[in-house]
Homo-oligomer: A and B are copies of this chain.
Amino acid sequence: MTEPVLSPDPVSDDLAALPPLGRSRQIMDALARYIQARNLQPGDRLPPERELTAALKVGRSSIREVVSQLSALGIVEARIGSGTYLLRQISAETIYMPLSLSADGLAEALLMTLEVRRGIEIEASIAAARRRTPEDMARMQEALEEMERTHHREGGSGKADFAFHMTVYDAAHNPLFRQLLEQMRDIFERFWDRPFDRPDFAARSFPYHRTLFNAICAGDTAAAAEETRKILDVVEEDIRNMRP
């Protein structure tokens, strides 16, 4: 189809003259605006590099540089022969906070990571208990009941657990919680075959979900923190029993 890039895109004009500072950041912002202007959503394919080259008026090397950086940041995924796909939202105002960690072993790394994640999850629960709206409560209740319906089944409870926690994060009304914890869970599951799908794990952890839900609805920050801690303790126990 080779849809012609019709927008003059004022950004590209600016770019032509500026070598001073952080050009790659400028190109990244231009690309972000380009994506925003076309309202591309996660999952969508962005234009081929050679087309972006023409649209943003920069060499293909420069395009590849920023795409490569976005790929390293987990914003974008390049599939050879197919195209480059958007993985998560991006805007020119996006702040990137790359963290790196080194650990001796996998279980070690997971336990250390879990300790950090526990801190974040607890704070999210506290924020949720403070700021949840009636709509949040309705969404959480729905997800909770779906979880209770499926917790005995083999494969489905993982997704339900995930969905419930997402509603909690959203109830905190700080989008960072969802972003961070979603990404942390992604990373977690990349190195760990999700125990959420193992019935015994679900059985041990899911009672706390309703008490957490009740605490958040009651606005009881201390109880919300405590129930979240219990849930994460089950996860920790499971990691310790792992050891491949």
- The interface of chain A, by Cβ under 8 A from chain B, is 24, 61, 64-65, 68-75, 88-91, 93-103, 109, 112-113, 115-116, 118-124, 127, 174-177, 179-180, 183-184, 187
Contacts and interface: CB of A to CB of B under 8 A. Distances in A.
16 contacts: A61-B61, A65-B68, A68-B69, A72-B98, A88-B100, A90-B100, A94-B101, A95-B101, A97-B99, A98-B98, A115-B127, A115-B176, A116-B177, A119-B123, A119-B124, A122-B122
Contacts of A68: 24, 65, 68-69, 72
A180 B95 contact: no
B112 A116 contact: no
Chain A, interface SS category: helix
Contacts of A123: 115-116, 118-119, 122
Q: Give the top 3 A-B pairs by smallest Cβ distance, nearest first.
A: A119-B123, A69-B72, A119-B119
A102 B112 contact: no
Contacts of A124: 119
Contacts of A183: 97-99
A174 B115 contact: yes
A106 to B, nearest CB: 9
Contacts of A71: 69
Contacts of A72: 68-70, 72-73, 96, 98
A180 B94 contact: no
Contacts of A89: 102
A226 to B, nearest CB: 11
Given A99-B180, A119-B124, 6 more contacts: A74-B100, A88-B100, A103-B175, A116-B120, A116-B123, A116-B176
Q: Which of A65, A183, A187 has the most CB of B within 10 A?
A: A65
A168 to B, nearest CB: 14
